[in-house]
């Protein structure tokens, strides 16, 4: 018989509930840690029972998922944001939550979360780490500009970019020596911020070097970057968060995963579309919107679509750029091409028919001013040889 087990995990305890057809539910409170979970699951497997586990997604879900492999027949990670309706009761505690998850698992109604491999999860974490460092760099730069503005310095001494080598040397000159009077204490803050900015730049460059090396091992990255406006940072984010592209049944579902579809409130004959859901990876949504500012400069068709959505209203600028981002993923002639290239990151075998279709998608695009966007025959020949022969041999 099958046993369906729900774990409600927190920092202080783990509440387990075992649901089995025709048998009274079993509850047990475990101490935090994977060792106690393994021991409990091994005990439930005695007698030849098949065990199926479910728990909610959290910061430690990936570690728990990997650690419990082999101790249970199947593991499902639930998405709590799609199970809010089961918690809307007057009585709620950990035992009830664990039992509800176990029952939903038994009837195959758990909204599951896709769990990528450990390597892909680390790749995603590194992408987020780079974004956080970049944000810190911008914060430090803004604080430096604010200090200079407080001293009526609104223009750089050497012109051009504020953060050029000449202007940075000028910043250090403004800091002076270590001796300041009570009216020059702003120089201390400026010196500390310059040191902090240099440290963040070193960290950023180290992460970018690693990400570039890792991205070079992904064949689909080169083809994704052939889309105008798509660079290495956007390509790696799309590949990392798409992972196994076969889990998406349609382009609508693909756009919904990245939170680029509007909210829907429909009842009877009333149908209201709100703002985008903003669910899924925000880093991909952010990078796509930034890339679209470049894309509309190179693609006349997307520029026309952008102007059509904007309708000459300045207040609809952001709405229009989000619409362009969604169109790139969904209905642009290269949408299916981008999905096929993301397929390479998921380890799927490629065929000549798949590559021929991708090549046709790329060739069908209108000519642009960007020379690197046009497909080169030699590039396609080399890519076809690599993908069909070397890549498929590696995935045997």
pLDDT at 365: 42
Q: Give the global pTM.
A: 0.79
Q: Is the pLDDT of residue 142 over 50?
A: yes
The pLDDT confidence band at residue 218, using thresholds 50, 70 and 90, is: confident
Residue 296 to residues 126, 139, 283, 293: CA-CA distances in angstroms? Answer: 29, 29, 20, 6
% the chain with pLDDT above 90: 47
Does the domain formed by 2-106 have CATH 3.40.50.1820? no
Which of these ranges, 27-36, 123-132, 256-265, 353-362, has the smallest mean pLDDT?
Answer: 353-362
pLDDT at 384: 39
pLDDT at 207: 96
Rg of the chain (C-alpha set): 27
Q: Is the pLDDT of residue 15 over 60?
A: yes
Mean pLDDT of 19-41: 94
Q: Describe the crossing of helices 282-298 and 118-150 by its angle, rounded to 10 degrees.
A: 70
Give the three-state DSSP class for 241: helix
Mean pLDDT of 362-389: 38
pLDDT at 67: 95
Q: Is the pLDDT of residue 385 over 60?
A: no
pLDDT at 364: 46
Which of these ranges, 43-57, 205-219, 333-347, has the smallest mean pLDDT?
Answer: 333-347
Mean pLDDT of 3-10: 95
Report the C-alpha gap between 192 and 170 in whole angstroms. 15
pLDDT at 337: 46
Q: Is the pLDDT of residue 376 over 60?
A: no
Residue pointed to by tokens 């082999």 = 70
Contact 167, 158 (CB under 8 A): yes
Angle, CA of 310, 315 and 316, to the nearest 5°: 30
Longest alpha-carbon distance in the chain = 82
Report the C-alpha gap between 102 and 74 in whole angstroms. 13
Residue 247 to residues 17, 163, 252, 294, 339: CA-CA distances in angstroms? Answer: 29, 44, 12, 30, 11
The residue with greater pLDDT, 395 or 165, is: 165
Q: Is the pLDDT of residue 160 over 70?
A: yes
The pLDDT confidence band at residue 357, using thresholds 50, 70 and 90, is: low
pLDDT at 237: 93
Residue ranges per structural domain of the chain: 2-106, 118-215, 219-394
Which of these ranges, 55-59, 74-78, 328-332, 362-366, has the smallest mean pLDDT?
Answer: 362-366
Which of these ranges, 31-45, 281-295, 299-313, 324-338, has the smallest mean pLDDT?
Answer: 324-338
The pLDDT confidence band at residue 356, using thresholds 50, 70 and 90, is: low
pLDDT at 240: 92
Sign for the pseudo-dihedral over CA of 246, 252, 258, 259: negative
Q: Is the pLDDT of residue 258 over 80?
A: yes
pLDDT at 367: 42
Mean pLDDT of 276-281: 89
Mean pLDDT of 293-317: 90
DSSP string, 264-328: EEEETTEEEEEEE---S-HHHHHHHHHHHHHHHHH-HHHHHHHHHHHTT-GGGHHHHHHHHHHHH
**What is the overall mean pLDDT for the chain?**
82
pLDDT in tens, 49-66: 899 999 999 999 999 999
Nearest to 340 by CA among 230, 219, 253: 219
Nearest to 320 by CA among 302, 299, 297: 302
The pLDDT confidence band at residue 247, using thresholds 50, 70 and 90, is: confident
Which of these ranges, 10-24, 232-246, 339-353, has the smallest mean pLDDT?
Answer: 339-353
pLDDT in tens, 64-113: 999 999 999 999 999 988 887 666 777 888 999 999 999 999 999 999 99
């Amino acid at each position: 018989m099958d046993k369906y087990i729900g774990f409600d995990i927190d920092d202080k305890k783990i509440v387990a509930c075992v649901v089995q057809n025709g048998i009274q539910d079993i509850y047990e409170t475990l101490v935090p840690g994977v060792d106690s979970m393994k021991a409990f699951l091994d005990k439930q497997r005695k007698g030849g029972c098949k065990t199926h586990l479910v728990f909610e997604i959290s910061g430690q879900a990936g570690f728990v998922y990997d650690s419990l492999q082999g101790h249970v027949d199947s593991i499902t990670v639930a998405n709590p944001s799609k199970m809010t309706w089961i918690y809307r009761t007057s009585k709620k505690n950990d035992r009830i939550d664990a039992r509800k998850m176990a029952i939903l698992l038994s009837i195959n109604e758990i909204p599951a979360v896709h769990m990528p491999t450990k390597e892909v999860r680390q790749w995603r974490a590194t992408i987020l780490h780079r974004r956080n460092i970049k944000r810190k760099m911008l914060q430090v730069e803004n604080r430096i500009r604010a200090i200079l503005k407080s001293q009526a310095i609104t223009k750089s001494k050497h012109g051009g970019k504020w953060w050029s080598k000449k202007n940075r040397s000028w910043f250090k000159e403004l800091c002076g020596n270590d001796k300041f009077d009570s009216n020059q204490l702003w120089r201390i803050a400026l010196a500390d911020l310059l040191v902090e900015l240099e440290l963040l730049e070193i960290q950023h460059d180290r992460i970018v070097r690693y990400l570039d090396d890792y991205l070079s091992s992904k064949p689909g990255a080169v083809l994704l970057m052939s889309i105008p406006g798509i660079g290495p940072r956007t390509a790696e984010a799309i590949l990392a968060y798409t992972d196994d592209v076969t889990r998406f049944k349609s382009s609508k579902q693909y756009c919904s995963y990245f939170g680029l579809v509007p909210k829907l409130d429909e009842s009877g004959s009333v149908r209201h579309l709100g703002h985008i859901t903003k669910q899924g990876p925000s880093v991909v949504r952010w990078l796509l919107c930034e890339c679209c500012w470049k894309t509309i400069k190179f693609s006349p068709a997307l520029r026309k679509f952008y102007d059509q959505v904007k309708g000459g209203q300045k207040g609809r600028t952001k709405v229009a750029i989000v619409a362009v981002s969604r169109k790139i993923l969904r209905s642009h002639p290269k949408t299916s091409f981008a999905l096929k290239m993301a397929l390479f990151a998921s380890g799927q075998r490629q065929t000549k028919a798949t590559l021929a279709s991708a090549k046709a998608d790329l060739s069908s695009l209108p000519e642009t001013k960007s020379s690197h966007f046009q497909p080169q025959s030699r590039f396609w020949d080399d890519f076809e040889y690599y993908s069909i022969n070397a890549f498929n041999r590696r995935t045997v």
